[in-house]
A and B are shown apart, each in its own frame.
Chain A
């Protein structure tokens, strides 16, 4: 049986997928990109992985303490 949280998670997944198509080709037009824009895109890409890393580390810490 799926819980409300799991259904909500699945909806978020689909929502992210739908939004995905919008941003992909934005920089393919040859417009000039500054290093700052590259750095900003890097920071955005890194953010979810940083959160995943922190969350996984916290889960492992909980297991090790328990």
Chain B
């Protein structure tokens, strides 16, 4: 199970990173258009990451239901996952509202900082999958920042 989780997380990290690395902005369009284009590309990348993270979550639940994961591990997994998804969803609403590239950049930077704070807070007890999940979000968003 742990191997499969690692494999799944590795795929999510790689794909979200690649998606954000492919983000391209046309400098000949208006500021609002540039911000919208960047936001849409970030949304598409995050959506793909979310779909894969969801598969990891489903696998974890199946493993728990078949008795291969302990209750405390299961509880820790979903507690952290819940915090992470709330953070991501909040970040997405802020990205949606951004009307310029600098604003978008600030939003993404703040989201990365928030995720890093969660990592620090739970550093000692972070389950592997959620720790890696947070890392993937930071990696993917950091790639986006390089382009913005």
B75-97: contact bitstring with A at CB < 8 Å (1 yes, 0 no)? 10011011001101100110110
For chain A, the bracket of interface size reads: 35 or more
- Give Cα A5–Cα B81 distance, bound, in whole angstroms: 21
- Give Cα A37–Cα B35 distance, bound, in whole angstroms: 13
For chain B, the bracket of interface size reads: 35 or more
- Give Cα A9–Cα B53 distance, bound, in whole angstroms: 11
Does A45 lie within 8 Å of B44, measured CB to CB?
yes
Chain A CB within 8 A of B57 CB: yes
Does A24 lie within 8 Å of B41, measured CB to CB?
yes
Name A51's closest neighbour in chain B (CB-CB): B54
Q: For chain A residues 7-64, which have a beta carbon within 8 Å of chain B?
A: 9-10, 12-14, 16-17, 19-20, 23-30, 32-33, 35, 37-39, 41-42, 44-53, 55-57, 59-60, 63
Having A56-B85, A63-B74, one finds 11 other A-B pairs with CB under 8 Å, namely: A6-B4, A9-B8, A16-B52, A20-B18, A24-B41, A27-B37, A37-B36, A46-B92, A53-B82, A55-B61, A60-B78
Does A17 lie within 8 Å of B54, measured CB to CB?
no
- Give Cα A39–Cα B41 distance, bound, in whole angstroms: 12
Does B89 lie within 8 Å of A49, measured CB to CB?
yes
Chain A CB within 8 A of B128 CB: no
CB<8 Å pairs between A and B, sample of 6: A20-B15, A20-B18, A28-B24, A30-B29, A53-B86, A55-B58
Does B26 lie within 8 Å of A46, measured CB to CB?
no
Does B11 lie within 8 Å of A14, measured CB to CB?
yes
User: Which residues from B are CB-within-8-Å of A28?
Assistant: 23-26, 37, 41
User: Which residues from A are CB-within-8-Å of B46?
Assistant: 45
User: Which residues from A are CB-within-8-Å of B85?
Assistant: 49-50, 52-53, 56
- Would A35 and B26 be within 8 Å (CB), given that A48-B54, A56-B82, A63-B71 are in contact? no
